[in-house]
Amino acid sequence: MLLHPKGSLRKMFSSATAASYYGGVIKTRPLSAFDLRHSTSSSNKASRHVIPLKARSFTQSSLGGCSGSGDQEIVIAMGSNVGDRVSTFDRALQMMKTSGVNVTRHACLYETAPAYVTDQPRFLNSAVRGTTRLGPHELLKKLKEIEKDIGRTGGIRYGPRPIDLDILLYGNSQITTETLIVPHERIHERPFVLAPLVDLLSTSADDAIETSWHSLSKSKGIKRVLPIGNCLLDWSDRSLIMGILNLTPDSFSDGGKFQPVEAAIAQAKLLISEGADIIDIGAQSTRPFARRLSPHEELERLVPVLDEVTKIPEMEGRLLSVDTFYAEVATEAVKRGVHMINDVSGGQLDPRILKVAAELGVPYVIMHMRGDPSTMQSEKNLQYGDVCKEVASELYKMLREAELSGIPLWRIVIDPGIGFSKKTGHNLEIIKGLESIRREIGKMSIGASHVPILLGPSRKSFLGEICNRTNPVERDVVTAIAVADGIINGANIVRVHNVGYSADAVKYCSASRKGRRLNDLVE
């Protein structure tokens, strides 16, 4: 049967083994139905080291009704610590999809310390949720075939492996046979499984388990990561700086300055020297009422600069992003060395870009905007009741379209779209309300509420309005203030023209955060 999406995973959870963590010691016990409803409500009163988990014990059951009698909702765990772990996950996902598994949700991506056998490389772990018409043993057979095709052979138990695929949950079924136990019998003792499993919950509105889990995970050496280029970014460590390189003659801030290739290269070097982690190159102006270029026109501006930027030694260890909403431009840019797609329309202006981003296997930034640059500031598109709530809802809708198009959650970044379909008051509310946006998204998907947030207030007109600065270049100081405000409220990546000023803001916020952590430890 196909379970109702909001309650399904909780029902599946209720078939798993219960556990509570006391300072790292696992105590297993069965929970009653009353416990399942109320175990998390008492967690606020408990020590911050006590992590209650919803579940109940299970017994052997027959497989009646489990085989092929309609769509079954399933959860599959993924792990890898040998070879190119990210590419292995991509390959496993594709093979699952062609083997009868319809993937509908992805958890975040976690890098974790090895368990049981500790003398081996660190693992990447995640999980996917989906549906299948395969019976449980048919599904198990398909997963084992995928493992074999990818290169998994025999080895020591819990030892290194290129891929590990486990059935965690299969509908509401409780299965105990010689070859398969579902729910997976070791869920309760594996933080690297619990973290992705919690991400797959549809809502956190009535559930303190997510808050409790992520408090525990900090002490377990687990971190969420964003695979980009040849590295895994831990965006919780510090906020990243994305430097803007405009190749347009009509940009609101620096139009025409960097159209010549030599000028663009000099600017890229300057941004890097000032501390940019990512260079975001755009050849299409998205200021209000800008004329839309064709993909061909955009590429004519972009390609000569891209070809030269990728050659400069200063790019070593830095990342390239392309600011485009065209699938054709994104494809060409990634072929020429770009690591990330930054789409101001979130797939609304060229829906083909979603499939392209999925196939290219690069991070995809979904920005909130209503309409397009020619209509975004219309009276209709500026109407909000609760701006943070509505932006969160609209961003989540775009995120789901991207995920269902094949972009895993671990490659998605969201941007609330400062200055796009927003008035001054809206922009200020969003910067102050980034955590509110996360909470609203968390009511629809816990995992989605934990993707990185990109914030782009740089030199925007609302800052000029506040500070009476008509010249955009004169807004760099207030931009740095807005950046600091955004980071304090939860921004993970900041997109700016003047990297130097904003780098200082990032350093200050990082030092302030570390100071608070030290104070917490002392207390």
The pairing of beta strand 123-132 with beta strand 72-80: antiparallel
Cβ count near 249 (within 10 Å): 11
Close Cβ partners of 257 (under 8 Å, ≥ 6 residues apart): 246, 263, 267
Helix, strand, coil proportions of the chain in percent (round to 5)? 40, 20, 40
Three-state SS string across 16-84, please?
CCCEEEECCEEEECCCCHHHHHHCCCCHHHCCCCEEECCCCCCCCCCCCCCCCCCCEEEEEEEEECCCC
Which band of pLDDT confidence, cut at 50, 70 and 90, is reported for residue 512? confident
* pLDDT tens digits for range 169-192: 999 899 999 999 999 888 887 888
* pLDDT (0 to 100) of residue 365: 98
pLDDT at 61 over 90: no
pLDDT at 48 over 50: no
* pLDDT (0 to 100) of residue 213: 53
Q: By percentage, how much of the chain surpasses pLDDT 90?
A: 67
* pLDDT (0 to 100) of residue 32: 28
pLDDT at 33 over 60: no
Cα separation of 372 and 70, whole Å? 42
CATH number attached to the domain at 237-520: 3.20.20.20
Q: By percentage, how much of the chain surpasses pLDDT 70?
A: 80
Task: Report the pLDDT averaged over residues 123-141.
Answer: 96
Helices marked H in 310-386 — which ranges? 327-335, 352-360
Residues in the chain: 523
| Cβ atoms of 127 and 155 closer than 8 Å | no
| Cβ atoms of 347 and 366 closer than 8 Å | yes
Task: Report the pLDDT averaged over residues 202-230.
Answer: 67
Looking at this protein, which amino acid is placed at residue 296? Answer: H
Beta pairing partners, 243? 279, 496
Which band of pLDDT confidence, cut at 50, 70 and 90, is reported for residue 338? very high
Which band of pLDDT confidence, cut at 50, 70 and 90, is reported for residue 55? very low
Domain 57-220 has CATH 3.30.465.10: no
Task: Report the pLDDT averaged over residues 267-285.
Answer: 95
pLDDT at 22 over 80: no
Q: Show which residues are catalytic.
A: 460, 495
What's the whole-number average pLDDT of the chain? 83
Task: Report the pLDDT averaged over residues 82-87.
Answer: 95
Question: Where in the chain are the domains?
Answer: 57-220, 237-520
| Cβ atoms of 389 and 374 closer than 8 Å | no
* pLDDT tens digits for range 419-452: 999 999 999 999 999 999 999 999 999 999 999 9
pLDDT at 36 over 80: no
* pLDDT (0 to 100) of residue 209: 52
* pLDDT (0 to 100) of residue 208: 54
pLDDT at 516 over 70: no
Each residue of 437-458: b (16+ CB within 10 Å) or e? bbbbbbbbbbbbbbbbbbbbbb
* pLDDT tens digits for range 469-489: 999 999 999 999 999 999 999
| Cβ atoms of 344 and 456 closer than 8 Å | no
Close Cβ partners of 27 (under 8 Å, ≥ 6 residues apart): 19, 20, 21
pLDDT at 115 over 90: no
Q: Which of 214-223, 370-379, 504-513 has the lowest mean pLDDT?
A: 214-223
CA nearest neighbour of 24 among 219, 263, 241, 289: 219
Q: Which of 128-132, 196-200, 363-367 has the lowest mean pLDDT?
A: 196-200
Task: Report the pLDDT averaged over residues 31-58.
Answer: 31
Cα separation of 485 and 490, whole Å? 9
CA nearest neighbour of 280 among 243, 331, 327: 243
Which band of pLDDT confidence, cut at 50, 70 and 90, is reported for residue 119? confident
